[in-house]
Amino acid sequence: MAAERALITGASSGIGWELAKLFAADGSDLVLVARREERLKALADELKDEFGVDVFVLPKDLSDPQAPKEIYEHLKREGIDIDVLVNNAGFGARGPFANLDADMQVDMVQVNVAALTHLTRLFLPGIIERGRGGILNVGSLAGFQPGPNLAVYYATKAFVLSFTEALSEEMKNPNIKISCLAPGPVRTEFGEKSELDDSLLFKMSLMDVGPVVREGYEGFRHGKVIVLPGVKQKLIPVLLRFTPRFLVRKIVKSLQS
Ligand SMILES: NC(=O)c1ccc[n+]([C@@H]2O[C@H](COP(=O)([O-])OP(=O)(O)OC[C@H]3O[C@@H](n4cnc5c(N)ncnc54)[C@H](OP(=O)(O)O)[C@@H]3O)[C@@H](O)[C@H]2O)c1
């Protein structure tokens, strides 16, 4: 049987970059997707040298609605089957919804939600047919509550959580794993890019990327549907269940103003 092949979106930095290393260390061949081609090539060279795996670099802008289909068709032409799809690419932006750029927020929905959904729909039938692998979607703790001052970002992550949970329940083959990795704040480029670095909520429970990714990877391999890396982080969804929503909204807003 051919080696497993994982496609990882957003592999040019942070969580995606580190996940690629874990898949490669276990012998998975890879397809790496993001916009920054040079970074993807550097990672591909590193993984080929260190682990002897095959790595295919496919630079794409996932805010382009055509990108998922182009990725799927490109790989089909190359005769590359995907066993594991890791939908990790994503971004956020801090500020009141009405003040943030409209096109940028629509792009956020496209990257965080539409591309993730489209890629899943394109690759899942092949995964089911081959009977192995699965889907690892990178959501966030943000998906468990509304997020004033990051309204669109939190809403996109609520979609990722709900969608992934539903898919996992539809899946009949126990060899196919469907997981949502839902970290709290993680030390990557994300904090600076989304202007969250100085937010109290972000600083309160910041984790290093290594342990987050390790827990996510192992959770996925063990078929855990929702993976919440960290100790405090595991408690938050439980606390949220017992806190009135009006209060949750106010607390998140005050910590993220
Ligand atoms: N860091 C956190 O605090 C945190 C917490 C919870 C969840 N998450 C989630 O974790 C995921 C990874 O984020 P990260 O923390 O690793 O941040 P990051 O270091 O900024 O990485 C984001 C990745 O997404 C890619 N990406 C962004 N826009 C894209 C586009 N239009 N087309 C293709 N690729 C795109 C970036 O690549 P290019 O720029 O090269 O395109 C990059 O590889 C995201 O979904 C994020 O929402 C992060």
Residues 6 or more apart in contact with residue 137 via CB below 8 angstroms: 86, 87, 116, 120, 160, 163, 164, 179, 180, 181
Report the C-alpha gap between 111 and 87 in whole angstroms: 10
230 in contact with ligand 1, CB cutoff 6 A: no
Sheet-wide strand order for 5-9:
55-59, 29-34, 5-9, 84-87, 133-138, 176-181, 226-227
Task: Give the residue whose CA is nearest to atom 17 of ligand 1.
Answer: 190
Q: Which phi and psi (to 5°) does residue 202 adopt?
A: -70, -45
pLDDT at 1: 76
pLDDT one-digit tens code per residue, 100-117: 999 999 999 999 999 999
Our mutation pick for probing the ligand 1 site, out of 88, 109, 187, counting the most ligand atoms within 8 A of Cβ, is: 88
Residues above pLDDT 70, as percent of the chain: 100
Say which amino acid occupies 69.
Answer: K
The separation between CA 11 and the C-alpha centre of its own chain, rounded to angstroms, equals 10
How many structural domains does the chain have?
A: 1
The CATH number of whichever domain residue 79 belongs to comes to 3.40.50.720
Domain around 111: 5-255
Cα–ligand 1 centroid distance for 40 (angstroms): 14
Q: If we measure between CA atoms, which residue out of 68, 67, 223, 203 comes closest to residue 135?
A: 223
The mean per-residue pLDDT over the stretch 234-242 comes to 94
pLDDT one-digit tens code per residue, 186-229: 999 999 999 998 888 888 889 999 999 999 999 999 999 999 99
pLDDT at 118: 98
Whole-model pTM: value is 0.98
pLDDT at 183: 98
Q: If we measure between CA atoms, which residue out of 138, 186, 185, 141 comes closest to residue 163?
A: 138
For residue 92, give the 3-state DSSP assignment: coil
pLDDT one-digit tens code per residue, 65-99: 999 999 999 999 999 999 999 999 999 999 999 99
pLDDT at 197: 87
Which residues are identified as catalytic? 153
145 in contact with ligand 1, CB cutoff 6 A: no
What is the sign, positive or negative, of the torsion defined by CA atoms of 104, 107, 113, 119?
A: negative
Burial of 13 (0-12, 13-18, 19+ CB in 10 A): middle
